[in-house]
Structure 1
Amino acid sequence: MSLRNDLQGTGVALVTPFKNNTEVDYDALGKLIDFDIDNGVEYVISLGTTGETPTLTSKEKFDIINYTYEKVNNRVPVVVGIGGNNTKEVMENLTSYPLDKAIAVLSASPYYNKPSQEGIYQHYKALAGVSPKPVILYNVPGRTGSNMTAETTLRLAKEKNIEGMKEASGNMVQCMHILRDRPEDFLVVSGDDHIALPLIACGMDGVISVAANCFPKDFSEMIRLSLKGNFKAAQPLHYKCLEGCDLLFAENNPAGVKAVLYELGIIENVLRLPVVPLSESIHQKVKAYLK
């Protein structure tokens, strides 16, 4: 089997709920996992950047991964996020983190360093060489400060143990070049909730989503309909979710999604600095949207 078969549809990049004292709230994380799986997501991502991973300790990361496996209990596949801009450290994490029950590793392109395309290629080649699980590339220039080109992605797609790509460049033409020329069994998913539907129309296999945390039913159904080619039925759900997606990303991720989940009674509206909760004006728009 390939990741392209196993990870069709909607993956949810889980937030990390915190208590009011900013400790990890495992009870709330459990509620969130049940809410998302019960409402139709096809897989979960533990420790994606939406989980505020830069502010988590190594021990917290270990505990969150293990708790997620336990709570998911084989109902859906689990992908674990392990990335960074220090290649040696990421390699060490890949060999020390508990990955036995994961289906794959999602690894964001190095941030801040702004490596060349050759540097990005060599970084991922090194990770793939030590990872005990298949690696999913993650291109998100808005956060990393550098873009992984279609040429680099396609070059990496030929490497052993690199089996997929989360593309969040927002560049439709770049996405189409990847989709046209990818190996047949290479997974490509959208990292942009807003344009997941048109990207599936171009050939993507689904989405790794922020919105699926708080709108799992409508969002995952929209993706399923799109994958069946039923865009006429998917379109109303797409536009129903559109304003919600606008609010999720109005100021900062995951401030928007945490505000929605707070209003739904699933988590506390607590983030770790330097990220802060939504401004009062946007939060009021969230409340109005949910009504």
Structure 2
Amino acid sequence: MLTPYQLGGTGVALVTPFNSRKEIDFESLDRLVHFVIQNQVDFLVALGTTSEASTLSEIEKREVVRHIIAANGGRKPIIVGMGGNDTNRIVDTINKTDFDGIDGILSVVPYYNKPCQEGIYQHFSEIAKASPVPIILYNVPGRTSSNINAETTIRLANDFENIIAVKEASGDLMQIMNIIHKKPDDFMVLSGDDASTLPLIALGADGVISVTANGFPFEFSQLVREALNESLDEACKIHYSLLDIIQLLFSEGNPAGIKALLNARGLIDNNLRLPLVPVTEETYIAIEKFLNNF
């Protein structure tokens, strides 16, 4: 079973490549998996926000995971996004899932319903009881309009051995520091924001689930390694060398920015499914210019 210590470092939130007909481009997906592994990321995340999972059918989701498992070939741990706002449906999905090749799940705080903290706790407690693999909580209130506070995160970490980490994308520095300060020793805090990764590791976080690492896997992984090894001068150099591209990648939404970068690198076609659309020509040119000068 996956241990918390296998999640330290850089996880990459993989995109889902599409062809011109907006069908999944499995050849490009395989190529991307090999690219990020060869460039030293520590673990893979399938069906996260960056994958456009909300536009994938259940059959497509299974096929994406199957291809990632096959391309990975057991080289890196694989985390699969498995969340939503219907607790019973998630539990049913868990019960029907073949977890062979899947090392853990990433489960987002329920969106739209806007549950109270006790509702969030009960939601994740049911998932924890059902899941045969470890769970990473995913807090991203900018997308869900629902925040899991530090007290609830720590309560879940203490009450369930298989809840082993949180991906924190709240942007609330005080909340994240309180989690780091009060969490169990074997519970991990992962940055959910690329630009905040270095400062959060300096405060005691354990790594990141990164979007930028799709396009700059070696550089971003090296940043995280240097930061975890307390080589902050070296980490700062890499951080600032990537800061402009991180800002560009999110300037017109995710995954539009990272798909533009991957297209400029020749790894995938620049296609998204509605309601998402590619970045403007101006932003694409800026991304391409950064890549050429990097």
Normalising TM by the smaller chain, what interval? over 0.9
Could you tell me which residue of structure 1 aligns to residue 172 of structure 2?
171
In 1, the alpha carbon distance for the partners of 2:99 and 2:25 equals 22
The aligned residue for residue 47 of structure 1 is: 47
2:231 maps to 1:230: yes
Q: CA deviation at 1:3?
A: 3.0
Unaligned runs of 5+ in 1: none
Query: 2:98 matched to 1:98?
Result: yes
Residue 157 of structure 2 corresponds to 157
Residue number in structure 1 paired with 2:135: 135
Shift of 1:96: 1.4
The total of aligned residue pairs comes to 291
1:280 counterpart residue number:
281
In 2, distance between residues paired with 1:238 and 1:101?
Answer: 33
Secondary structure of the structure 1 residue equivalent to 2:155? helix
- Pair 1:244 & 2:245 matched: yes
Secondary structure of the 1:10 match is strand
Q: Gaps spanning 5+ residues in structure 2: where?
A: none
Q: Deviations over 1:63-96 (max 9, x none)?
A: 1111111110011111111011111111111111
Aligned-partner Cα distance in 2 for 1:190–1:270: 27
Kindly provide the amino acid, as one letter, of the partner of residue 144 in structure 1. T
Specify the code of the residue in structure 1 equivalent to 2:179. Answer: I
> CA offset at residue 40 of structure 1?
1.0
Task: Give the aligned partner of residue 192 of structure 2.
Answer: 191
Alignment of 1:259-274 (within 5 A): 259-274=260-275
Deviations 1:177-236 (A, max 9, x none): 000110011121100100100100111110000000001111110000000000011111
Percent same amino acid among aligned pairs? Answer: 48
- Cα distance in structure 2, aligned partners of 1:20 and 1:95: 35
Cα distance in 2 for partners of 1:280, 1:142 equals 26
Residue 195 of structure 1 aligns to a residue in which SS? helix
CA distance in 1, matches of 2:218, 2:2: 26
How high is the TM-score relative to the length of structure 2?
Answer: 0.97
1:162 is displaced (CA, Å) by 1.1
Describe the superposition over 1:228-249 as per-residue Cα deviations: whole angstroms up to 9, x where unpaired: 0000111110001111100110
State the Cα deviation string for residues 111-167 of structure 1 (Å, max 9, x = none). Answer: 111111111111100111101111110000111011110011011111222111101
Query: For residue 255 of structure 2, what is the aligned residue in structure 1?
Result: 254
What SS does structure 2 have at the residue aligned with 1:165?
strand
Structure 2 letter corresponding to 1:277? P
Q: How much does 1:288 deviate?
A: 1.4
**What is the letter of the counterpart of residue 14 of structure 1?**
L
Large movers: runs of 4+ above 3 Å: none
Q: How big is the alpha-carbon RMSD for the aligned residues of Structure 1 and Structure 2?
A: 1.0
TM superposition score normalised by structure 1: 0.98
In structure 2, the residue corresponding to 1:207 is in which secondary structure? strand
Instruction: Map 1:56-71 to 2 at 5 A.
Output: 56-71=56-71
Read off the aligned partner of 2:77 and give its amino acid letter: P
2:11 is aligned with 1:11: yes
